[in-house]
Structure 1
Amino acid sequence: MVVFDRADDTLRHLARYWGTFRQMGDPKRSPAIAALEAVLYEGRAARIHVIYDGPTTVGGRLIPGAREQFSTGILARASAGTWQRLAPKADPAPKSSPLPGRVHVVQDGDTHPAQAVLMTDAEVADWLTATAAGET
């Protein structure tokens, strides 16, 4: 499993870093961003699950087909424009909810509301530790 949190910031920093340190003859695109795209394309075949938190096209840094590699999208408080960009098959955009943790799960052009579990970092660490130890 690959978890990529705050992808928008990370991609921006990777592109900036590569632009600063790129040498003559090096590819224009950051090798780190190209590697992420390779994981996205090969992930399903290699049974790698990717959890990606952020836009899939930040300033055009990921190639357009990268978004298509995600089988499930989870959107919360998405504007109509964002919904159209990220879930064009599941049109029209549902109304967003003011309730914390309310999300819309989009899969195969179908959408349904869901409730996300809200936990602090400490609660997640405790839960993971208990789960690994076989406790419930």
Structure 2
Amino acid sequence: MSLTSLTSGPNPAPILAARGTRWFFSQALSSPASNYKPLWRNYGLLLSRMGRYEEAISAFEHVEKRAEASNDVGYICMIEGRFDLVEQFFRTAIEQSPAHYDAAWQNLDRLQQLRRMRDFGIGQAGSGGDFMPGGSLVQ
């Protein structure tokens, strides 16, 4: 594959940056530093942002249980407004740890609030405020 084919399109910078970042992580994760927990968490975040959810969960599982990993991926999807995917990750986290995983229940409640706000037009252009996915409304 040539550089020309990699850079074709309106803005190749994000694609090249993601590929370069993945290369960096692949090098770091195959080194003695591979037991460094923040490295695995950051790799999981990168994969989540790239839409590579199963790989992200696998990366997170190097530093936390699968229920927490599923919740983390769901939260990233929620922040990015990918509501169609969010619920499945939170429900998976709850199924894997039903009695002990309050964070996934709280995030599932937050998702329902976000959906209601979207349905009522809060946070949409011209509604008088901009909705911030973290839960606040900025006037």
TM-score, L = length of structure 1 = 0.30
Query: Larger strand proportion, structure 1 or 2?
Result: 1
Query: Larger helix proportion, structure 1 or 2?
Result: 2
